[in-house]
Amino acid sequence: MKLFDYQRADTPEQAAASAVAPGTRFIAGGTNLLDLMKLQVETPERLVDVSRLELAKIETREDGGVTIGAMVPNSDLAADPHVIRNYPVLSRALLAGATGQLRNKATTGGNLLQRTRCYYFYDVATPCNKREPGSGCSAIGGVNRILAILGTSDQCIATHPSDMAVAMRALDATIVTVKADGDRRRIPMAEFHRLPGDRPHIDTILEQGELITHVELPSPPPGGRHAYRKVRDRASYAFALVSVAAVIEVEDGRIAKAALAFGGLAHKPWRDPEVEHILIGQTPGKALFEAAADALVRDARGFGHNDFKIPLARRTLIATLQDLTGGR
């Protein structure tokens, strides 16, 4: 860890303003940032401590949706009665991630900003375009069992490690921020995380100094059936190889709505309108689910060790849909 200046912010606006200089990072739970700083994968010159900002509330809005403060710990969010009742996919996703003690520290905002767990990103002794632009991707042609099969580029095949973000993608969350100049903006989850392209060092569309203050969830769909299914190498305490967040509404024997997001497959929580389009309006059944799963992996590309993720994602999606709809 390199030396850094440390300051504590009193308000979100002040935090954003004081983080406008390059090399400044916000710190809240610190569970990923400190991890990476120790390895000097991250080397901020200044840390702005936002952990004590009054952003730790979960509030129900008049429209029935909820607004989650960016400092709400993952544990509290997962255990919130309103979230459990109306957004069980989010509780399930949170509880599938990390461990009790990590969830107690990790925050809602920080979870969205987790960086990839690619082995090579984590090791300054190896080239990595995400860590050091232009140095090359060691994972392509290297050990890539845990890495991406969708939305990759020849620069980077990293995956986003969050479970929570996958559920939020399925729930069409909106991320609320305050910028260094005091402006606020609302960013749909769909636009928040990037694909690697030729700039894999940039994970999200946030600007320097832009602080996440809240995450808004739209009012819950009535009658929606929720599931979060995570496939991993250990029974607990392991990142997803493949995960599926699903919210399905069935009306009169047909799928009325389907929101499906995937973890472990791409540089961002993956969602493919085509997959949902195939399902909507149809009677649940195996052939239908297979068609949707085929669409999901149509453009998937493996890199050797991770080829198995293609059939795994396919099978996991089909089984999740079968579970939620009873369609066989």
Residues at the contact surface with another protein, assessed by CB under 8 A: 1-4, 6, 27, 29-31, 34-35, 38-40, 47, 49, 51, 75, 78-79, 81, 84-85, 88, 91-92, 95-96, 98-102, 104-105, 117, 119-120, 122-126, 138, 141-143, 145-146, 231-239, 241, 286, 308, 311-312, 315-316, 318-319, 322
Decide if 321 contacts 284 (C-beta within 8 A). yes
Closer by beta carbon to another protein, 96 or else 166: 96
In the complex, what is the shortest distance from the CB of residue 158 to another protein, in angstroms, rounded to a whole number? 14
Q: Could you give the CA distance from residue 98 to residue 94 in angstroms, rounded to a whole number?
A: 8
In the complex, what is the shortest distance from the CB of residue 301 to another protein, in angstroms, rounded to a whole number? 16
Closer by beta carbon to another protein, 117 or else 185: 117
Q: Could you give the CA distance from residue 288 to residue 69 in angstroms, rounded to a whole number?
A: 39
Q: Could you give the CA distance from residue 117 to residue 246 in angstroms, rounded to a whole number?
A: 24
Which burial class, exposed, middle or buried, applies to 290 when counting CB atoms under 10 A from its CB (0-12, 13-18, 19+)? middle
Closer by beta carbon to another protein, 109 or else 179: 109
In the complex, what is the shortest distance from the CB of residue 253 to another protein, in angstroms, rounded to a whole number? 22
Closer by beta carbon to another protein, 172 or else 323: 323
Decide if 49 contacts 25 (C-beta within 8 A). no
In the complex, what is the shortest distance from the CB of residue 192 to another protein, in angstroms, rounded to a whole number? 24
Closer by beta carbon to another protein, 126 or else 208: 126
Decide if 26 contacts 213 (C-beta within 8 A). no
Q: Could you give the CA distance from residue 293 to residue 100 in angstroms, rounded to a whole number?
A: 33
